[in-house]
Amino acid sequence: MLPTKSNTADKGCSPVSSNCVIWQGPDLSCINLCNGDSISNVVYAMATKLCSVQSAYDLTSLDLTCLVSFCTSTGAAPTIKSLSAVLDFIIKKVCCLNTTVAAIVPGGTSYTEPTLTLPACLQYTNGQGQTVTQLIHNQFTLTLATKICAINTIVTSHTSTLASHETRIVTLETATAVALPTVTPKCVLPATPTAMNIVLGALESQFCDLKAVLGSNTQLTAMAAQQCTGLNAATALSQSGTMSGITNWNSTATTVAQSLQNLWITVCDMRAAVYSLKTTAGTTDCSAFLLGFVAAANNDRTIVTLYFNTGTTVIPSGFANCNAQGSKVTITDTSGHSYVGYVDLVASVSNGSGYPFTVTGASLNAGQNYTVVVEGCVTKNGNACSKTATQTVSVPCPVISSVTATLV
């Protein structure tokens, strides 16, 4: 088919449409043309690629300001920014820089790092015990980097912890209500399974009532400290010796229980003395009768000897033993094994040799302390006077024999 117009029709050319001319050359993948395409397609593809290249290499808007500011001997930047002119200008600048760098003489003035002041939070004590407040620049930077790394580790750990806490908080917030376990109370409420919060409320209520009756801990402690001054060393009323020598006496009463125990011992001591006065008033004065002794054991702890002639036992004239056996003597060990014997109390006061008691048959444990109790009883004018005294025979310390050794 011929074109409707042709600029070669009047020049003796046969007008042929470019669509009718076929490209028989090789495939051109760079412009996406293949053998057999029309010349119209070939020319269009080449024109499109040429316009694209022209646009890509347009240097009209290229800013060469930074290249103008140094090595001014190379001249001004090109006014027409063609590729050739721009590359030539850059080459001149590089050559100028090369000449300048080559002219630098090595070994110039050395650089001294500045000394910087450490902030208070980074100051530390060195190995000589001095507080470091300043560092040269490179050490200052290293200290900052070390500190930043430590902080980064802490932040990472905290971030992980916070994430874990966030998960747990969300779990707790979205969790359904937990039913409290039940317990079976023994005294604060009826002994039936009851919710824990109800039992706790009843327990607190009763505790508050008890505290209101007994007083606070401070008040109870103050009450326990009201024991008479010097009562430990005061002479007992119902037996010889001091109050601290009475069995189960607490020399230092700091609790209510200890204070009450001492109070009962004191009351019982007073009651025994009053009873003695009551039974002897007007006929026999039992107050003059004092009972005390010293107890000792042999090395094997099979014989316990009691001495009443030490001045602690006083029997006024006219008194006699309550019975022919004499006064009862009880010797016990810590395990509760007991030996029972009797002593002539009236005669004992003048007996300097003491009264030995062989305790072999009582199965007493020789490795334990012995408690010796004498229940003294004397009579006058038909009235009996009774008093009790106690002593402890402690286990002796082991004897270490000397050993001679010869070093070879």
- 253: number of Cβ within 10 Å: 20
What tokens does 36 get? 């057999």
Least confident of 15-29, 71-85, 309-323: 71-85
Residue 392 is predicted with a pLDDT of 94
Using one digit for the tens of pLDDT, what is the confidence trace for 277-320?
Answer: 766 555 557 888 899 999 999 999 999 999 998 878 999 888 99
- 385: number of Cβ within 10 Å: 23
8 Å CB contact between 206 and 185: no
- Is 18 a residue whose pLDDT tops 90? no
- Is 142 a residue whose pLDDT tops 50? yes
Query: Residues 316-330: what's their mean pLDDT?
Result: 92
Binned at pLDDT 50, 70 and 90, residue 156 comes out as very high
Binned at pLDDT 50, 70 and 90, residue 227 comes out as confident
Query: Residues 341-356: what's their mean pLDDT?
Result: 92
Binned at pLDDT 50, 70 and 90, residue 31 comes out as confident
Q: Where are the domains of the chain?
A: 17-56, 65-98, 186-215, 228-281, 284-393
Residue 3 is predicted with a pLDDT of 55
The helix/strand/coil state of 176 is: coil
Greater confidence, 132 or 33?
Answer: 132
- Is 369 a residue whose pLDDT tops 90? yes
Exposed (0-12), middle (13-18) or buried (19+): which is 217, by Cβ within 10 Å? Answer: exposed
The helix/strand/coil state of 198 is: helix
Query: Residues 126-148: what's their mean pLDDT?
Result: 91
Question: What is the overall mean pLDDT for the chain?
Answer: 84
CATH architecture observed for domain 284-393: Sandwich (2.60)
Residue 1 is predicted with a pLDDT of 43
Distance CA 50, CA 61 (A): 20
Greater confidence, 404 or 355?
Answer: 355
Neighbouring C-alpha atoms within 13 Å toward the C-beta of 150: 7
Using one digit for the tens of pLDDT, what is the confidence trace for 201-219?
Answer: 999 999 999 989 989 989 8
- Is 9 a residue whose pLDDT tops 60? no
User: 389 CB contacts (<8 Å, ≥6 apart)?
Assistant: 239, 240, 241, 291, 292, 293, 312, 373, 374, 376
First-to-last C-alpha distance (Å) of the chain: 137
- Is 134 a residue whose pLDDT tops 90? yes
Closest by CA to 352, choosing from 386, 300, 313, 298, is 313
Binned at pLDDT 50, 70 and 90, residue 329 comes out as very high
Residue 408 is predicted with a pLDDT of 47
Least confident of 43-57, 313-327, 364-378: 43-57
Share of residues in the chain with pLDDT > 90 (%): 36
Total length of the chain: 408
Neighbouring C-alpha atoms within 13 Å toward the C-beta of 11: 5
Residue 30 is predicted with a pLDDT of 80
Greater confidence, 87 or 231?
Answer: 231
